[in-house]
Amino acid sequence: MTTTCLTPSHLAAGSALLLAALLTGCGGSSSSSSNPVRVAQSCFWGGPYVREVPETNIAYPDTGATYWSARFELPPGASLELHGNFPQGRYMSLTSYDEDRPYSTLSDRDIEPLPGHINPFRTGHPRSEAQRSYQVTLAENANGASNTVELVRAESIVLYRVYVADPGLDRQGGQPLPAPVLTLADGRTLEGEAACTELSASREVLKIPMIPAPAYDAMRAANNPAMDPPLFRAAYSSTVNIDCSFLNKCAEHEQQPAQREVRFYAVLDNQYVYSYVDRAIKPLVVLRGKLPKTPQTRGASHFDDNGSELRYWSLCQNEYFSQRVNACLYDEQLLVGDNDEYLIVTGLEQDRPSNATDACKVNFLPWPEAGDGRGLFEGGTNNETDGFLILRNMLPAPGFTQAVQHTSTPGDEAQVMGEYLPDTAYFTVDEFEAFGCDVFDQLQRPLQ
């Protein structure tokens, strides 16, 4: 059976196509989540934001995660709570935004459960415990109150995230989306549709900030940001990114610490390094690095964060201009060799080398066929050979000083991250296949 996938030209066709895409999926990749996508039955939450639906594949999402957005306006004197159950997965959080800039994040481990209930994201707690409810307040001027997400203003955007739902569960981790309970200034309490109406809640897809197309076209024509060998830089802000990658003005940023202002509806628990790559240099990019220790949650009976260095790690291939994710690999999906080292090959499926197999412990990450995705928008043509790699580090343990979070000055990534920053090099298919299945022993760091 042939599945017709959505493109930007289809998006105006309405909910029937969107629902079909949600239920069938598009694109196909071994690196995508195996959890089924469900249409959120909520007047409060829009989404889900997933790779399978081009309309919501925005702002560089991670295929190991699912996101829902809420846009609302608190009436004067009102208070808003979310009543929910902890999902069964690796991570969950609620984050408020100032436009697309993260403002306040409440992470799973910091949420106090209701009396008689447990928080399954705390070490030693059973992950499938039935009594798993919580209540969270959304408020301006939170003043450090527990179980509270602080809002920038009464008119706000909040995102709910679930990472790596357990096998066999939907991407909500087997639990309903958190439900709004609104208490008005006169003491009346509203739930369901009544609360959504009073909050002017909107499920519209979020607007994403994009580089103006003429400016991007001019910068891309003047300078290809891909380097040989590829270079990973820590994400600080769009200004630092453009200066360093497109305008050859990085030196001025390397003289002093930079302020992080990662936007695109990011979550404060994550930090990122990124690399522009171009398969016109050679068709394959190979990465070798050390995988930080993370809690293994798929199928685990109890949550165990002891000995972990990060909560979550992933590497994604993206279309830089469109901000769509093509495919990701997250920690539990990776095949690793001795000393927790991994080898990842990224390229087009047609260029996948014969030794990029499970038997050889070589992971494969599909390259976006649309390159930078510029051709998805009016007046543009894809730079088809472009790729954009994003490596995520989430919630580092206090003693793990080699996380992305500890970088502070553009250019210090290798010094800070050490063996956890992957060595990266270009190869032809023949060059990589020449290593045979003994590639781990033959391809040492640094890559050559």
DSSP symbol at 19: H
Counting Cα atoms < 13 Å in the Cβ hemisphere of 32 gives 17
pLDDT at residue number 144: 83
181-197 per-position pLDDT tens digit: 999 999 999 999 999 99
Contact of 160 with 48, CB cutoff 8 Å: no
Q: How far is CA 320 from the centre of its chain?
A: 14
Strand 148-151 to 233-234 pairing: unpaired
Q: Tell me phi and psi for residue 83, to 5 degrees.
A: -105, 120
Peptide bond just before 230 cis, omega within 30 deg: no
Q: Which residues of the chain have pLDDT under 50?
A: 1-32
pLDDT at residue number 417: 98
> What percentage of the chain has pLDDT greater than the value 70?
91
Nearest to 403 by CA among 422, 384, 417, 414: 417
pLDDT at residue number 147: 96
d(CA 81, CA 104): 16
Which residues have CB under 8 Å from 237's CB, separation 6+? 258, 259, 260, 261, 262, 263
d(CA 353, CA 22): 32
Contact of 162 with 87, CB cutoff 8 Å: yes
Beta bridge pairs of residue 96? 104, 158
Nearest to 310 by CA among 328, 290, 292, 330: 292
pLDDT at residue number 143: 84
CA geometry: angle 87, 91, 94, nearest 5 deg: 80
Counting Cα atoms < 13 Å in the Cβ hemisphere of 359 gives 4
Residue in the structure block whose two tokens are 């969950």: 92
Strand 341-347 to 363-366 pairing: parallel
pLDDT at residue number 21: 34
Q: How many CB atoms lie within 10 A of CB 379?
A: 9
Nearest to 392 by CA among 340, 331, 344: 331
Q: Which amino acid is at 399?
A: G
Residue in the structure block whose two tokens are 């024509």: 221
Residues in the chain: 448
d(CA 236, CA 253): 10
**What does pTM read for this prediction?**
0.90
d(CA 254, CA 413): 11
Question: H helices within 148-236, ranges in order?
Answer: 192-198, 213-222
Residue in the structure block whose two tokens are 């995705």: 373
343-384 per-position pLDDT tens digit: 999 999 999 999 999 999 999 999 999 999 999 999 999 999
Q: How many CB atoms lie within 10 A of CB 41?
A: 8
Counting Cα atoms < 13 Å in the Cβ hemisphere of 411 gives 10
Domain ranges of the chain: 8-198, 213-442
Going from the C-alpha of 389 to that of each of 40, 225, 287, 288, the distances in angstroms are 30, 12, 11, 14
Going from the C-alpha of 361 to that of each of 297, 333, 440, the distances in angstroms are 22, 11, 8
